[in-house]
Amino acid sequence: MRTTLIAALLLSSPATAETIAIKAGRVITDAAKPALGPSTIIVTDGRITAINPASAAIPAGARVIDQSTRTLAPGLIDSHVHITGDADTPFWREAVDTPELAVAYGLKNARITVRAGFTTVRDLGSARASAFAVRDAINAGLFPGPRILAAGPALSIIGGHGDVSGFAALVNDALDQGNTCTGATECAARVREASQRGADVIKFTATGGVLSQQGRGLDQHFTDDEMRAIVVTAHSLGLKVAAHAHGPRGIEAAARAGVDSIEHGSFTDEAGAKALAATKGWLVPTLMPFRATAERLGKGIYTPVVETKVRAILERRGKQIIAARAAGARIAFGTDAGVFPHGRNGEEAADMVEYGGMTPREVLISATTAAADLLGLASETGTLEVGKAADIIATDGDPLADARELARVKWVMARGKVID
């Protein structure tokens, strides 16, 4: 009886919050500001409670983590991933793989992603509710992984990028996910259904896409009225909107419709960039797929219709960044991970410098404060500040001087938990 009573009291008592002291050689609290010298970051119950000079006393009983030879920076944010997808998976697998298998892939990829230093990701396209399940399992503490904002299946026109294609009509119909729409009223309804199912963000494919089996070009698919209906409805529900867009007129139309971000933006021209800047939208350029697809050409991995589209787009790498910056549009970091192997997300940074003309500091801003702003998470992450989540990475070098350091992260803490 006495043992039972003690156990009950222990179970009913609140857990003692753990305090962690992280010793750092340098601390980048905000990518837009100068770094601090030797410091100690105090984390309690998953949140930053102090950033002190290295000489300050460490709280009694704190667990000490020594990163004193390294630079600490805010956890990275990837604004465009496909967490349940794996590179080189043949398109026909969607006809045989189960949603449960997609969840298993997602949990695997989530751990790989967070270990690479990405403590927050936005999933912009997954089968049915698979990304929602991965998100919820991580939030419940069942599996390690980044904070996930998930869209679920992207809205598409019938037969467009995001719809099922490449099979016999009977198979296409059987695999339909209910994510297509025609006309403003029906498109508004699809947005409300996505919200009901748990979407954190709405994604639609404003134009054709490269890796889908549809061969209807890379420019505008949805009508102007349909795009406006999607955006107005999503915003009325408090949801942001991401538009997959490659072709110039589709980019311009989506920007004028008021989307929060243009994804890829491969053929962004002056008119499209100015439209995006005028609405204070973001470009998420996703340069890594250019490298990944080029590596796979001519090897029998892609069908002929896909190879044709890949060859048409390769010479555009980085030009969308240059056009957007010239017009004053904002850039947020995103990679399209899943098109290439998860965990290589940080390699995007060097491409943004080489092909987009950005500085390492600008790239780090795009992957921290800028991306946090786009995702609506600026009060939670993106900088190292008292009260914010303890999303922290460590690098041996200085990511403000060398963007390649974002692909060489040595240590990660996500929401106060050290990632093994």
Confidence check: pLDDT of 2 > 60: no
What does the mean pLDDT of the chain come to? 91
Residue 380: helix, strand or coil by DSSP?
Answer: coil
Helix (H) or strand (E) run with residue 88 in it:
none
Q: With CA atoms as reference, report the closest residue to 367 among 357, 342, 377.
A: 377
Amino acid symbol at 13: S
Name the nearest CA neighbour of 419 among 124, 169, 65: 65
Closest CA to 330 of 295, 284, 361, 367: 284
pLDDT at position 217 is 75
Using pLDDT thresholds of 50, 70 and 90, give the confidence band for residue 213: low
- CA 245, CA 264: separation in Å to the nearest integer? 6
Q: Look at the block and give the residue holding tokens 């043992």.
A: 3
Question: Higher model confidence: residue 292 or residue 287?
Answer: 287
- What is the pLDDT at residue 86? 86
Residue-wise pLDDT for 92-143, tens only, equals 666 677 888 999 999 999 999 999 999 999 999 998 899 999 999 999 999 9
Q: Where are the beta strands (DSSP E) in 127-227?
A: 147-150, 201-205
Q: How many helices (H) and strands (E) does the chain have?
A: 14, 15
At 203, list the tokens: 């994604």
Write the pLDDT tens digit of every residue in 346-400. Answer: 999 999 999 999 999 999 999 999 999 999 999 999 999 999 999 999 999 999 9
Write down the pLDDT at residue 345.
98
Q: What mean pLDDT is predicted for residues 252-274?
A: 97
d(CA 401, CA 413): 22
pTM equals 0.91
Cβ–Cβ contacts within 10 Å for residue 233, how many? 21
pLDDT in the model for residue 59: 96
What pLDDT digit, counting tens, does each position of 134-181 carry? 999 999 999 999 999 999 999 999 988 876 666 667 766 666 677 899
Element (H, E) at 286: none
Give the side-chain half-sphere CA count within 13 A for 341. 6
Q: What is the pLDDT of residues 7-64, one digit of tens each?
A: 443 444 345 689 999 999 999 999 999 999 999 999 999 999 999 999 999 999 999 9
- Please name the residues in contact with 123: beta carbons below 8 A apart, sequence gap of 6 or more: 81, 82, 83, 84, 131, 134, 135, 148, 149, 150, 151
Instruction: Please tell me the predicted confidence (pLDDT) of residue 5.
Output: 39
Name the E strands within 356-398.
392-395
Q: What is the pLDDT of residue 175?
A: 65
What pLDDT is recorded for position 286?
97
User: Beta-strand (E) ranges in 28-129?
Assistant: 39-44, 47-53, 63-74, 76-81, 118-123
User: Following CA atoms 201, 118, 141, 149 in sequence, which dihedral angle do they give, to the nearest 10 degrees?
Assistant: 0
What Cα–Cα distance (Å) separates residue 303 from each residue in 127, 288, 298, 315?
Answer: 21, 20, 10, 20
pLDDT score, position 53: 98
Question: Tell me: domain 76-375, CATH 3.30.70.20, correct?
Answer: no
Q: Distances in Å between the alpha carbon of 10 and those of 3, 16, 61? A: 11, 11, 21
Tell me if 364 sits within 8 A of 372, measured CB to CB.
no
Q: Into which CATH architecture does domain 2-75+382-418 fall?
A: Roll (2.30)
Percentages of the chain per state (helix, strand, coil), in multiples of 5: 35, 20, 40
* Span of 201-210, 221-230, 237-246 with lowest mean pLDDT: 201-210
Q: What are the boundaries of each domain within the chain?
A: 2-75+382-418, 76-375
The percentage of the chain sitting over the pLDDT mark of 90, rounded to a whole number, equals 77
Residue 252 has a pLDDT of 98
Element (H, E) at 12: helix 2-12
**Helix locations, 30-123, DSSP H:** 99-115
